[in-house]
Amino acid sequence: MLRQDYIGRLIQQLAEALARVARLAKESKLEQAEAELAEAEQALALPRGIELFDARSAALVIGGGDKVVLAALLLEHRALLLEARGNSGQAQRLRARALALLEHAKPNELGKEAAELRARLGG
């Protein structure tokens, strides 16, 4: 029960952080959005350079389940910031990485979010 409470709070905090990132990006406050995204990545305890791992290894390192979905959402938002900075090539690579990561996700509570993200990413 305690673990579920922790996961629920983490999901809520990250959802709020990602909403702030999206809002800041729309307002062209990219430095603030980047800082918010970095905090969200830290809260999820993702290893630095996780986007460089192959998707299967990344999912194993992250721990599977809902954390993989959250990591894919973070990658999607990082891609949003890259695109806002004019780096659409790298943004597209991160979106592809997020989609590949979702293929290894086995979500518990975030099944709906995983399906929505998969649809946004074209998967």
- Domain boundary assignment for the chain: 2-120
How far apart CA 9 and CA 108 sit, in angstroms, is: 15
**Residue 92, both tokens:** 């597209």
Instruction: Report pLDDT for 45.
Output: 85
pLDDT at site 3: 63
| Number of alpha carbons in the 13 Å side-chain half-sphere of residue 36 | 21
Q: Could you read off the pLDDT tens digit of each residue along the chain, which spans 123 residues?
A: 566 677 788 888 998 999 999 999 999 999 999 999 999 988 888 887 777 889 999 999 988 788 899 999 999 999 999 999 999 999 999 999 999 999 999 998 899 999 999 999 997
Q: What is the pLDDT of residues 58-83, one digit of tens each?
A: 999 988 788 899 999 999 999 999 99
pLDDT of residue 9: 86
